[in-house]
Structures are given as structure tokens and as C-alpha cells.
């Protein structure tokens, strides 16, 4: 067995060089190599332990590597005074000589009695190999069954069902906006004084969604969503009710989304939608940690709902850097109607959102929304109703900021949106903030507490919620919540406490 240290690498290199004088055309490396031939022979110090090297300490970053090379393979030695001189520069010749010496040791170890080694390993792991073989056979059978009965080679079929039991702890009158939203044909005179009546004793409702998600290239996505709900009356004195509930869709299946997303180059992701998407759906991030798990709708930033959506949408998400993403989106609410003030370029909105997404401590975004909205009820999905005479009010524009701080076991998030009312005195400003504890008392569980003011003209509707999402298994979640609402509607009982439980199923 041949042993060689750094010094012997250098001496071995000189044996391969014919001594000659350096010329002006020689490179610096060649000059150094020529000069090696003049070095005297060095008697190396044989060591059997790395601890015999005086200048190598256990805290050195390469200590374990040197220890193996010296003690396990014996292919490195030290200088005469038993030093290693690890901080000295290494030439390519020295590296080649040292590598060759170690290969001379390692190659025989893996080549001698190779059949016997393989046979011994096979006998030692015979039980494990048998288990693996049976598992592979089972997987092959499952794959064959899936191929024979698969729904589609390109499409995945998924679904969700959320059922809510909501119990009000007291009587409360509905806010005026909420009544008009449920009955857009109600005469304004019928909305004077107390409106809506007392809350029901309790409510039970559902929201179901079926999704077809298709990819043709592995990078694109065609999505078709069909949903149905009867969750239009729970939390009656709040502005937007329960999370994912859709007004005007009671007990009727509706095509809720038709969209196609695809990349354009390496840094642009494009989405075209013919149905269902709002400005917030096309943002790179909502930056609101409670959005998916909250029981009430305030878990989503509600200022996105003030602008037309639900019909044609086009968006581009542009990666300016690895952390900065610019979202550009255009929406219209009546692109398929060839009428006055309708069509692809009327009753529209547009959005620009700049996101800082770090996948670390902080995510943040600034948003600008604007557009030209119709003033009739059918024109805008999110227009808010004026308190005094029951007409719709649209925002002139919206400027918003969102931020989320991920502290590991705790996430703090919030947003503020300034939305002046268009053509009248007042605003539709809104804001919310919350704190969540992901993974509390179990994987995928979450405790969340949040609250905020919803957008409304001449009012400040307040909602506060505390919930705990309990992940029972991969298909079923249970989320109890305590919700406080104050519609600020200037009626006798405009606030209330609710106890709610959501059962969520997914497949």
C-alpha cells in the first residue's frame, strides 16, 4: 500500500517533468512546475492517527475527512515535524498525485471478492428484499388498475363540501346593505327604520364545489369549477357572510370558474378566464393567513370584492426577481353582452399589484385598483349600497397595502385599503388584521384570531372571529368558531355573537 502526503505529491509531480529553464512564454503555473524540480527530497513522517499531526485540531472544518484518509485508508502522511500544513496552497500536480495514491487503496477494496460481497449482502438483507419485492408487485397491480379505470390521463377530479351550523347568541337586525343584496328589487321605502327582522334561532347550510383540473404540458392548468350553496343568510348582519358563500346561487349548481393558466417564457405566468375570477383570485398572493381557514368571509381581503369580476379576466404575473412579482390584471363583468355600456371594454376594472414574496420572515404587497363600473345592480359584483337611498356606490379607486410576518409558530398579517366613493361624499375604506398559530396541537391544525372593518358607505361594519381548525385526517376537518359582528346600521340590535361549526370534506 502506497502512502503519500502533500510533500510527496509535490515530489511525485517533479518526476513527470523534464528539467528545463523557464522562458518568457511560460505561464505562471508552468514556471512554478519547473521550479519544483529544484526542491530537495523530503523524508515524510508516517502517522497512524490524525491526532499525531500537530497542526490539525478537531475543530477544523476538514477534520473528519483527514481522519478517514489517515486512519481508514492510510493514503496521507505528514511533514517531518508531524505537521500537515493544511492552509498551504495545493497545485494541480499535487492533487493528481494524492488522488492517485488514494485510488490505489480504494479500488482493491471494492474489487476484491466482489461476488462474495454481493452474495453476503443479499443473504443479509433477504427479508427486506422480499418485502420490497411484494410491495413492488402490489404497486404494479395498482398502477395497472388505475390505467384501466382512470378518469383521464390529463385531468384530475377533486371536490370539497363545507357544512356550517351557526347559532346566534342573541337577536340582531340585519344591516341595510345585506337586505338589499339578498333582494335587489326591494323598494327603498320598505327599508326604512328597522330592517331585516330578528335573526333566526339557528341556521344550517352548505357549500359544495367540484373541480376539474387539467394539464396538457405539466406547466399549464385548465380549471373548471362547478359550485352550489344555500349559505346566503347566515351571519345576516355581516357584510359578506360566510367564507366561500355566493349570493344569488341558492341550491343551484353554477359554473363558478373557467380559466386557463400557462407560462410565457421563464418569468411570466398568464391567466385567461371566461367565468368566475375576481381581482384577488389573480394576485400572486392574498397575503392574508386566515383566508382559507376562517369561517367568515373577512378572512379574505374584502376590498378586492368591490370591483367587477366574474366574467372575462386576463392577467400576467411577472417575476421581476426571485422575490419581486408584479401582477397585472384586467376584468370585465359583462363581456358577453352586446349592449350599451356592456361588452368587453365597459363595466371593467384593472389591477396592478407589486408583491415581495420571500418565503421567509416577511411577505408584503401594494395594490392599485381602478375601473369604470356600471351603476345598475347587475353591473358590479361587489358594488356597495348607499345607506340613504338604496342605490349602488362604486369606489373611485383603491390603494391598499398588505403585510404578513412569519415567525415560525406564529404568523401576523393585516391589510389596509383606501377606497374613496365615486361621485358622493364618503369612502369605502376597509382594514383587517390577525394572528394565527399554524400546527398548534397537531400537524395542519391552526388557531386564528382576527378582526376588521368591511367596506361600506357611511358605516364601519365590524367583524371579529376566533377559530380553531382541527385536521381530523386528510379528508376531513372540523372548525369551531366564535364570531362577533356589528353592522353599524343604526338600528336597535345591530350587533350579535355567533357560535359556528364548519365541517369540511375534501376528496
For the chain, which residues make up each domain, given as ranges? 6-112, 115-149, 155-506
Cα 258 from chain centre: 22
CB atoms under 10 Å from CB of 43, counted, come to: 7
Give the helix ranges, DSSP H, for 319-431. Answer: none
Q: Is 55 exposed, middle or buried (0-12, 13-18, 19+ CB in 10 A)?
A: middle
CB atoms under 10 Å from CB of 299, counted, come to: 25
Q: Is the pLDDT of residue 145 over 70?
A: yes
High-pLDDT (> 90) share of the chain, %:
20
Q: Is 26 exposed, middle or buried (0-12, 13-18, 19+ CB in 10 A)?
A: middle
| pLDDT of 468 | 95
Q: Where residue 260 falls among pLDDT bands split at 50, 70, 90?
A: very high
* Phi–psi pair at 282, nearest 5 degrees: -105, 5
Q: Where residue 394 falls among pLDDT bands split at 50, 70, 90?
A: confident
**Which class in CATH covers the domain with range 155-506?**
mainly beta
High-pLDDT (> 70) share of the chain, %:
72
CB atoms under 10 Å from CB of 123, counted, come to: 8
106-115, 173-182, 230-239, 443-452: the lowest-pLDDT one: 173-182
Q: Is 118 exposed, middle or buried (0-12, 13-18, 19+ CB in 10 A)?
A: exposed
Cα 158 to Cα 4, 59, 277, 413, 473, distances in angstroms = 64, 54, 19, 30, 16
419: nearest Cα among 452, 395, 391: 395
| pLDDT of 492 | 60
C-alpha R_g of the chain: 35
Better-predicted residue by pLDDT, 26 or 434: 434
Buried b (16+ CB within 10 A) or exposed e, 369-393: bebebbeeeebbbbbbbbbeebebb
Cell of 365: 404587497
How many Å apart are CA 195 and CA 396, to the nearest integer?
28
Asked if 382 and 181 touch (Cβ cutoff 8 Å), the reply is no
| pLDDT of 45 | 58
331-345, 399-413, 475-489: the lowest-pLDDT one: 331-345
Q: Is 63 exposed, middle or buried (0-12, 13-18, 19+ CB in 10 A)?
A: middle
Mean pLDDT of 127-132: 82
Q: Is the pLDDT of residue 165 over 60?
A: yes
| pLDDT of 111 | 59
| pLDDT of 268 | 93
Q: Is 470 exposed, middle or buried (0-12, 13-18, 19+ CB in 10 A)?
A: middle
Residue-wise pLDDT for 185-214, tens only, equals 333 333 333 333 445 578 888 888 899 999
How many Å apart are CA 126 and CA 232, to the nearest integer?
62
Cα 17 to Cα 5, 33, 156, 181, distances in angstroms = 19, 8, 66, 92
Give the helix ranges, DSSP H, for 150-173. Answer: none
The answer to whether the Cα torsion of 183, 351, 425, 488 is positive or negative is: positive
Residue-wise pLDDT for 449-473, tens only, equals 999 988 887 778 888 999 999 998 8
How many Å apart are CA 24 and CA 349, to the nearest integer?
72
| pLDDT of 342 | 65
Amino acid at each position: 500500500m502506497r502512502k503519500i502526503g502533500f510533500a510527496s505529491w509535490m515530489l511525485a509531480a517533479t518526476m513527470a517533468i523534464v528539467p528545463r529553464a523557464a522562458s518568457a512564454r511560460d505561464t505562471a503555473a508552468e514556471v512554478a512546475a519547473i521550479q519544483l524540480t529544484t526542491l530537495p527530497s523530503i523524508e515524510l513522517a508516517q502517522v497512524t492517527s490524525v491526532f499525531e499531526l500537530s497542526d490539525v485540531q478537531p475543530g477544523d472544518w476538514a477534520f473528519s475527512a483527514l481522519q478517514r484518509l489517515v486512519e481508514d485508508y492510510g493514503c496521507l502522511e505528514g511533514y517531518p515535524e508531524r505537521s500537515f500544513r493544511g492552509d498551504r496552497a495545493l497545485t494541480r500536480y499535487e492533487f493528481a498525485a494524492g488522488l492517485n495514491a488514494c485510488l490505489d487503496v480504494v479500488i482493491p477494496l471494492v474489487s476484491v471478492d466482489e461476488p462474495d460481497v454481493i452474495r453476503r449482502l443479499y443473504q443479509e438483507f433477504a427479508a427486506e428484499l422480499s418485502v420490497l419485492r411484494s410491495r413492488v408487485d402490489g404497486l404494479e397491480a395498482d398502477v395497472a388498475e388505475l390505467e384501466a379505470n382512470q378518469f383521464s390521463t390529463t385531468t384530475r377530479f377533486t371536490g370539497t363540501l363545507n357544512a356550517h351550523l351557526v347559532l346566534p347568541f342573541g337577536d340582531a337586525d340585519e344591516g341595510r346593505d345585506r337586505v338589499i343584496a339578498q333582494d335587489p328589487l326591494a323598494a327603498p321605502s320598505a327599508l326604512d327604520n328597522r330592517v331585516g327582522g330578528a335573526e333566526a334561532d339557528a341556521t344550517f347550510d352548505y357549500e359544495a364545489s367540484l373541480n376539474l383540473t387539467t394539464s396538457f404540458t405539466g406547466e399549464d392548468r385548465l380549471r373548471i369549477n362547478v359550485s352550489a350553496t344555500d349559505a346566503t343568510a347566515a351571519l345576516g348582519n355581516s357584510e359578506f357572510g360566510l367564507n366561500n358563500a355566493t349570493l344569488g346561487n341558492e341550491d343551484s349548481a353554477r359554473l363558478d370558474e373557467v380559466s386557463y393558466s400557462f407560462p410565457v417564457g421563464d418569468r411570466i405566468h398568464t391567466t385567461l378566464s371566461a367565468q368566475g375570477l375576481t381581482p384577488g383570485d389573480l394576485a400572486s398572493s392574498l397575503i392574508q393567513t386566515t383566508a382559507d381557514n376562517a369561517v367568515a368571509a373577512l378572512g379574505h381581503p374584502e376590498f378586492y370584492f368591490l370591483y367587477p369580476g366574474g366574467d372575462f379576466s386576463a392577467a400576467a404575473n411577472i417575476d421581476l426577481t426571485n422575490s419581486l412579482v408584479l401582477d397585472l390584471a384586467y376584468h370585465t363583468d359583462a363581456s358577453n353582452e352586446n349592449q350599451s355600456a356592456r361588452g368587453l371594454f365597459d363595466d371593467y376594472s384593472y389591477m396592478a399589484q407589486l408583491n415581495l414574496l420571500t418565503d421567509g420572515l416577511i411577505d408584503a404587497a401594494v395594490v392599485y385598483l381602478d375601473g369604470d363600473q356600471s351603476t345598475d345592480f347587475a353591473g358590479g359584483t361587489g358594488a356597495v349600497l348607499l345607506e340613504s337611498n338604496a342605490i349602488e356606490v362604486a369606489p373611485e379607486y383603491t390603494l391598499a397595502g398588505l403585510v404578513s410576518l412569519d415567525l415560525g409558530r406564529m404568523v401576523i398579517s393585516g391589510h389596509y385599503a383606501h377606497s374613496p366613493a365615486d361621485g358622493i361624499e364618503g369612502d369605502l375604506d376597509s382594514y383587517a388584521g390577525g394572528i394565527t398559530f399554524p400546527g398548534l396541537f397537531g400537524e395542519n391544525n391552526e388557531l386564528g384570531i382576527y378582526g376588521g372593518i368591511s367596506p361600506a358607505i357611511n358605516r364601519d361594519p365590524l367583524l371579529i372571529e376566533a377559530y380553531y381548525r382541527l385536521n381530523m385526517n386528510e379528508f376531513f376537518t372540523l372548525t369551531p368558531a366564535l364570531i362577533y359582528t356589528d353592522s353599524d346600521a343604526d338600528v336597535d340590535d345591530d350587533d350579535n355573537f355567533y357560535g359556528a361549526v364548519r365541517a369540511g370534506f375534501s376528496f
